[in-house]
C-alpha cells in the first residue's frame, strides 16, 4: 500500500479543511483505511487527487450513520440553549439537512418557515452554511439577510453535523436595503409585504455582550451534544455485548 498519510498531512497537501476530507470519504472521491479511530490515506490516493480540483460535496440525504440520530434529545438541549441566549437554533447534518426542528424562531423566521417556498430557501441557506469552508467570518448571512453562527458536532472524532445559531442582526439594518430585500422576498415567495415588514420589525439586533454569548456558547452546546452521542454509543455497545453474552449463555444451557 505504500506510505500512509494522516488526515492532517492530507489537509496540508490538498489545502482543504478536515470537513472536506470527510466529505470526500463519504462521497467516494477519496479512499482511506481506518486504524483504530484514525483515518490513514495511501500516498497513491494523494497523488491522484493532486491533479483534480477539490470541491465541497453536496448531500441530498442524511448520511446512513445518522439514521438513528437522537433528534428529540438534541432538540431539547438546543431549545434550552436558544431560549437562554435569545436566538434561534437548529441542528443540521454536514450537507445542511435538518436533524431537528428549529428552536425559538423569531416572528420573521416563523413566517418564512410557514411558507413552502421560503422554507426551501431557508433550507438552502442551512445547506450553504453547512458546506461553507472554514476561515469565514464568525457570522454568516442567510438568504433573508439574517446572521448565523455554526459549530461542528463530531462523533468518534468524525464530523457529523452542525449546530447553527442565528436569526438575528449584528447591526441595525440599512432601512433602504431592508425595504428592497423584503420587497424581493415578498415577490419571490408570494408573502404579503405588510406581513413581512411587521415580522421584520421584531428581528433582534444583538448587543455586543449577546454576540459574545453566541460565539462562546454555541461551541459549548455542540460539545454537550457530542458528549451525549458518545455516551449513547457507549451504552448501545454495552447493551449489544450483554445481548451477545446472553445468547452464548442460552446456547450453553441448552441440553445436548
CA distance 235 to 232: 5
Q: What is the pLDDT of residue 248?
A: 61
Helix (H) or strand (E) holding 233: helix 208-253
pTM of the model: 0.68
Question: Which tens digits make up the pLDDT trace of 41-100?
Answer: 887 777 666 654 444 444 334 344 455 788 889 999 999 999 998 999 999 988 888 999
What is the average per-residue pLDDT within 193-218? 93
CA dihedral 175, 181, 185, 186 (to 10 degrees): 50
Q: What is the pLDDT of residue 249?
A: 58
CA distance 11 to 7: 6
Cell triple for 88:
434561534
Contact 25, 100 (CB under 8 A): no
Q: What is the pLDDT of residue 100?
A: 92
* Helix/strand/coil percent split, the chain, to 5: 55, 15, 30
**19 pLDDT exceeds 90?**
no
Contact 146, 167 (CB under 8 A): yes
The confidence band for 200, taking pLDDT boundaries of 50, 70 and 90, is: very high
CA distance 212 to 134: 19
All residues at 6 or more sequence positions from 165 whose CB lies less than 8 Å from its CB, including other chains: 81, 82, 85, 87, 88, 89, 148, 149, 150, 151, 214, 218
Phi (first) and psi of residue 158, to 5 degrees: -120, 130
Q: What is the pLDDT of residue 58?
A: 40
All residues at 6 or more sequence positions from 230 whose CB lies less than 8 Å from its CB, including other chains: 155, 156
Amino acid at each position: 500500500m505504500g506510505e500512509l498519510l494522516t488526515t492532517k498531512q492530507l489537509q496540508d497537501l490538498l489545502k482543504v479543511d478536515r470537513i472536506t476530507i470527510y466529505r470526500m470519504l463519504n462521497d467516494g472521491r477519496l479512499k482511506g483505511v481506518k486504524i483504530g479511530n484514525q483515518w490513514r490515506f495511501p500516498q497513491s490516493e494523494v497523488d491522484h487527487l493532486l491533479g483534480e480540483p477539490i470541491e465541497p460535496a453536496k448531500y441530498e440525504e442524511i448520511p446512513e450513520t445518522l439514521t438513528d440520530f437522537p433528534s428529540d434529545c438534541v432538540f431539547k438541549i438546543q431549545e434550552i440553549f436558544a431560549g437562554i441566549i435569545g436566538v434561534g437554533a437548529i441542528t443540521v447534518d454536514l450537507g445542511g439537512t435538518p436533524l431537528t426542528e428549529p428552536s425559538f424562531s423569531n416572528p420573521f423566521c416563523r413566517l418564512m418557515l410557514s411558507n413552502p417556498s421560503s422554507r426551501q430557501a431557508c433550507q438552502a441557506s442551512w445547506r450553504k452554511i453547512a458546506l461553507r469552508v472554514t476561515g469565514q467570518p464568525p457570522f454568516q448571512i442567510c438568504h433573508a439577510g439574517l446572521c448565523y453562527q455554526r459549530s461542528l458536532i463530531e462523533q468518534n472524532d468524525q464530523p457529523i453535523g452542525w449546530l447553527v445559531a442565528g436569526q438575528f442582526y449584528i447591526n441595525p439594518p440599512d432601512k433602504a436595503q431592508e425595504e428592497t430585500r423584503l420587497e424581493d422576498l415578498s415577490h419571490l415567495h408570494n408573502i404579503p409585504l405588510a406581513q413581512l415588514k411587521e415580522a421584520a420589525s421584531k428581528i433582534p439586533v444583538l448587543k455586543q455582550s449577546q454576540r459574545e454569548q453566541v460565539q462562546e456558547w454555541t461551541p459549548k452546546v455542540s460539545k454537550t451534544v457530542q458528549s451525549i452521542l458518545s455516551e449513547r454509543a457507549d451504552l448501545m455497545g454495552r447493551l449489544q455485548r450483554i445481548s451477545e453474552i446472553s445468547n452464548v449463555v442460552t446456547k450453553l444451557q441448552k441440553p445436548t
